[in-house]
Amino acid sequence: MTVTLKASTATLKLNTGANIPEISLGTWRSLGATDGYDSVIAALKAGYRHIDTAAIYGNEDQVGKAIRDSGIPREEIFVTSKLWNTQQHNPAGALKDTLSRLGLDYLDLYLMHWPVTFNTRNVKGTDFMVIPKNENGKPDIEMDTWNFVKTWELMQELPATGMTKAVGVSNFSINNLKELLTSPGNKLTPAANQIEIHPLLPEHDLIKFCREKGIMIEAYSPLGSINAPILKEPKIIEISKKLDVPPAQLIISWHVQRGYVVLVKSTHEERIIANRKVFTLSKEDFEAIKNLAKEKGTLRVVDPDWSPFPLFK
């Protein structure tokens, strides 16, 4: 049996009314001298119209230059970046810095990267792109005087500045979202929640909750990790061989069929092109992948120790 792979041009609708392309190029770990630039140029040339970066990735300058050099009108490209934990007290200033590095006038989406605030007492000068350490050598987490609710109260004012069209969050659990949404100062529902999702971390409950609240889900690490052990799962290999499609495109297609944004990542042009090509799975194959975590157990790849903050709880 073979299936027809077709490059995705589909968009989904944010709660702002804006369209967001369902497949995005993620640029995490595109850290080589020109990795960020080259991958974004290749992606835009291949038809991608959604690019995701973050201040902490250290490549906003490359990403922005590629967007500007592409020749594609800015309004045709959906651009996302993220607020780092050391700048949660001043998201407006951080966003100005991001736009300066990108060389762009505005973002389409600006996310709070984590629901964790870092204490800046050990930050040197204006070098905020760090993980500051406390006297015990652990990440210096601030919980007594600041939290993500206060950060959100500042972020929700950003669309009115014209610097970003929408704001959202990343790595937020159901409990984090409930606390944010029910806080007295909340006036705006996040447009998106970008989280780790893959067949061994399907996040059924979190996806359901976000949909009920009108929050778009974005999936990062859709193949599980850089080394992508999920690609070697027997069930994935079995379905891949049956359909005569690469395992990566099988899994990306499964994500797309679930109805949320998928961040695919590569610095290799041929993979960038391939990752955008998807197909519709049969109900049987879709359910087999959906149930993989029940059979194998869950696996969270991105799980930093930022105690005492109860991450993912």
Tell me the average pLDDT across 166-184.
98
- Out of 21-30, 151-160, 168-177, 184-193, which region has the weakest mean confidence (pLDDT)? 21-30
Task: Give residue-wise pLDDT tens across range 271-293.
Answer: 999 999 999 999 999 999 999 99
Q: Which residue has the higher pLDDT, 42 or 130?
A: 42
C-alpha distance across the termini of the chain, in Å: 42
Can you name the residues that pair with 262 across neighbouring β-strands? Answer: 23, 219
Residue 292's identity, in one-letter code, is: L
pTM of the model: 0.96
Predicted confidence band of residue 124 (pLDDT cuts 50, 70, 90): confident
Tell me the average pLDDT across 91-120.
97
113 assigned binding-site residue = yes
Domain ranges of the chain: 6-296
pLDDT at 313 over 80: yes
**37 part of the active site:** no
Tell me if residue 24 falls in helix, strand or coil: strand
Tell me if residue 233 falls in helix, strand or coil: coil
Distance CA 174, CA 110 (A): 20
Q: How far is CA 242 from CA 119, 177, 211, 216, 288, in A?
A: 52, 40, 33, 32, 13
Percent of the chain exceeding pLDDT 70 equals 97
Residue 256's identity, in one-letter code, is: V
Listed in order, strand segments (DSSP E) in the chain are 6-7, 11-13, 19-21, 23-26, 50-52, 78-83, 109-112, 167-170, 192-196, 216-220, 261-264, 277-278
Closest C-alpha to 34, from 61, 72, 9? 61
Q: What pLDDT score was predicted for residue 226?
A: 65
Average predicted confidence (pLDDT) for the chain: 94
Greatest alpha-carbon pair distance for the chain in Å reads: 60
Q: Which CATH architecture has domain 6-296?
A: Alpha-Beta Barrel (3.20)
CA-based radius of gyration for the chain: 19
Predicted confidence band of residue 32 (pLDDT cuts 50, 70, 90): low
- Out of 87-91, 125-129, 174-178, which region has the weakest mean confidence (pLDDT)? 125-129
Point out the catalytic residue in the list 48, 57, 220, 260. Answer: 57
Q: What pLDDT score was predicted for residue 127?
A: 80
